[in-house]
Structure 1
Amino acid sequence: MRLKLSWRLLALVMLVATLCSSVIFDTAQAQRRRRPQRAVICGDPTAPCKYGDNSRPFDLPFHIPPRAVVFETQPFYAVILQSVRMRDYDDCDTFVPEDSRLAAQALFPNRKVFASRCAIPGDVYYLNVSEKAQFMAVYAGETMAEAQRVLMRVRATNRYPGANIRRMRASFMGT
């Protein structure tokens, strides 16, 4: 009787151990699978973007996979050149005009000048910025040191007195 109980107990312990390790392994695998991919930004408009460019002229270009629903870039720095307050969250008529963006792009030919618009499904939008304003910014790189150099170049133009550095991400919201 004692021997049968020992074998049953051992079998039960082995079964519980197997189940526990399976759950832990499956959880670790699921967490690895859920880690979001981050898109690489094409921050220099004069260089070919090896990831393709499916953006509008005022968007910061980055690769968006064909069946993406929500896709984000890696964090980056931008120098906000200008912002305009919206009347309300759904105000799609207020934004920095395209001719202003093009004039700024001429000042910084090797850095993409981009602007926000209404966040509509299928469009690029930006994270870590005010929801009450639209903005125009110049891509300032992946490090604070690079962003500070870009800010100094912006200030040297004397055209954007309120220019400031912002760490943000671009995102795509599919339909």
Structure 2
Amino acid sequence: MPIAANEGVINTLVSLKVAETVEQAALIVKFNELNEAMVAADCGYASGPFSRHAERRSETKAAVRRAVSDSIKYNMTSGTNGRRTIRDDIKKRLKESVVTGIVDAKGRRWKPEVYADMVTRTKMMQTYREATTNEAVDRGVLYAQISSHGAKDACRGHEGEIIKLTLEAPWRF
């Protein structure tokens, strides 16, 4: 999580022209209070976007949450914060605790190793996005433009749009 947040802040510093290059931004990057709290909270408890859709049985949900949370806590406190290492540890913990697999709200069954990969990628991306937004808002930026990158999914209809980063930003700018 700290690496994803760090990369989000670095890219924000370059985008806002606080630094000219990624290398320069990496030398001056520092978490603001909000990002520091977010990373600390994420390292204490993390769950994937589909955890709320996991099988309704409380023991399965508890096993998934425990595996993800324990893995991230263990790896962060031991100084390991690589996505692959954390993903592999989550896979191992899920295999130990979830025998039947994970079933989402649509009835799809997830293999623990597939779920572990998905939850790790999603959590890292969420952390990156939050850190980027927090840094921009902390520097007085109220709006952002959604990138235009030739999306093929539902995002294609939003490319180029300007969005508010905070509820307090006026609608007209």
TM-score between both structures, scaled by the size of structure 1: 0.21
Give 1 or 2 for the bigger CA radius of gyration.
1
Determine which structure has the larger strand proportion and give its number. 1
TM-score, length-scaled by structure 2: 0.22
More helix by share: 2
